[in-house]
Amino acid sequence: MSGAGDGWPPLPAPPGPVEAAALEAAAAELAARCPGRVSRDLPLAPLTTFRLGGPAALFLRAETVADLAALGGVLAATRLPLLVVGRGSNLLIADAGWPGVVLHLGQRFRRIEIEGTEMEVGAATPLPGLAARSAAASLGGIAFAVAIPGSVGGGVRMNAGAHGTELADRLVWADVLQLTDPEGSGEPHDGPAGRRSGPVPPTGAREPQGPEGSGEPHDGPAGRRSGPVPPTGAGEPQRGAPVGRAPVGRAGQVAAAPPAGPVRLKPDQLGFGYRRSALPPGAVVTAARFALAPAQEAAVRAEIDEARRWRRDNQPVNQPNCGSVFANPPEMAAGRALELLGMKGERCGGAQVSQVHANFIVAADGASSADVLALIRRAMRRARDQLGVTLRTEVQLVGDFGGEPR
C-alpha cells in the first residue's frame, strides 16, 4: 500500500471564497437587527476545548429565535458560509479561522424545565448540567451525559453518547430551525455551512455534526443504531414572513423569507446512527425534550460520580483536547488501533497523541491546528497501511487548512 506520498487522506475542502462586499452587507444587516450581539474578527480558540484556531470574520451570539430568523435571511441573501459553535468540544478550527459567519447560541438558549419524568432543555445547555439536574430531581437515565463536554444542540446533532448509552435512547423530540437551503448550503452544529469544508475522509466516507462533541469516554461499539433517514423535507421548517426588514443581497435582491420558527421532530425523523443524525445541512437544534425514569437521588449521584471518576482515570481531562478524535471502526476500537500502531505519545509540533488514551490528541503551548491535522492524517495513513483499517474522524475539521499535506 502507498503511504504519505499518495495524498491520502485529502485535506478538508476550504469554505471560500467569500466576497468582501457580502461580508460587509451581512455585518451591517446583523448589527442592525441583533444589536450588541455581533462581532468582527472574534477569536474562536477560547470557544473550543482544543483552544486552537483562528478568528471568525463575523460572529453572532443569538439570544432569540428572532435573531436566528434574521441570520437565516442574511444567509439567504449573501450565501456566506455558516459555522455553528456550541461548547466547541468536537471541533478543530483552521489556524486561518472561519471566513464567513459563526453562530453561537447565547444564555437565553440555556434552560432546564422538568415536567413529571420528562426534561425539556435549551440547546445551549451543557450536557453535564442535565445529569446534575436529573439527580436533584430524582430522575435516572441521563447520568451518562456528565461525561460529554458538549451542549444539548450539538449532542443531538451527532447523537452523542457515553458508557454504552446515547441521547437518541432518551430523546422525545427536538426543535430544529433550518437556517440555510439544505440543497445549496449548510452543515451541522459545530460544523460548516455553505461551502463544505468537511472532515477527512471526504463525503461518502463519513457522516457529518456536528456537535458537537460526543465526549465518548470509552471506545464503545460502533454502528449500534441505524435509524431511518427522514424523507425529503423532514426537518425543513415552514416558511413565514421575515422578522423585521428583509436583508438585501449582493446584487440588491431582497432575500427569501427566513424560517418562521423551529419544527418539532421526533427521533424517527432524525435518522440517528452511531455518532450522527440525518439532520439536513444548516439545521440548528434550538431545544430538546428527554424522557427519564424515577430513581433514587443517591443512586443517580453515585452513577455520576463513577462516570466522572472513569473519565479522570482514562482521559486527558487536564489538557486541551477535542474529545475522541476518531469514531470506532467495525474492526476494533479506534484507541486500540492507535495503540497497536505505537502512536501513544507521538508528536507533531505542539500536538501529541495522548499517553492516557490514544484516541485523544492534546495540545501543548504553541500547538497549531495544522499540527493536530498532521497527526490525524498520519494516524489514518498508518491504520490503513499497517492494519487495513479505515479510520473516520469524529472531530469536525472546519476552515481553510491550506498548504501542502503533511
Bridge partners for 62 per DSSP: 105
pLDDT at 223: 34
**Mean pLDDT taken over the chain:** 82
Query: Does the structure show a pLDDT above 90 at 266?
Result: yes
Quote the cell numbers at residue 310: 472513569
In the sheet that holds 112-115, the strands lie side by side as: 112-115, 118-122, 283-291, 171-178, 263-265
pLDDT at 405: 61
Would you place residue 204 in the very low, low, confident or very high pLDDT band (cuts 50, 70, 90)?
A: very low
pLDDT at 280: 82
Q: What is the pLDDT of residues 326-359, one digit of tens each?
A: 999 999 999 999 999 999 999 999 999 999 999 9
- Quickly list H helices, 8-52: 20-33
CA 304, CA 257: separation in Å to the nearest integer? 45
Q: What is the pLDDT of residues 16-61, one digit of tens each?
A: 789 999 999 999 999 999 999 999 999 999 999 999 999 999 999 9
How do the domains of the chain map onto residue ranges?
318-398
CA 358, CA 386: separation in Å to the nearest integer? 17
pLDDT at 10: 82
Query: Does the structure show a pLDDT above 60 at 66?
Result: yes
CA 65, CA 177: separation in Å to the nearest integer? 9
Q: Which of 245, 287, 209, 192 is nearest to 32 (CA)?
A: 245
Quote the cell numbers at residue 256: 427569501
Q: What is the largest distance, in Å, between two alpha-carbon atoms of the chain? A: 62
Query: Does the structure show a pLDDT above 80 at 156?
Result: yes
| Catalytic residue set | 275, 324, 394
Query: Does the structure show a pLDDT above 90 at 207?
Result: no
Quote the cell numbers at residue 287: 431545544
CA 152, CA 212: separation in Å to the nearest integer? 9
Q: Provide CATH code, domain 318-398.
A: 3.90.78.10
Query: Does the structure show a pLDDT above 60 at 214?
Result: no
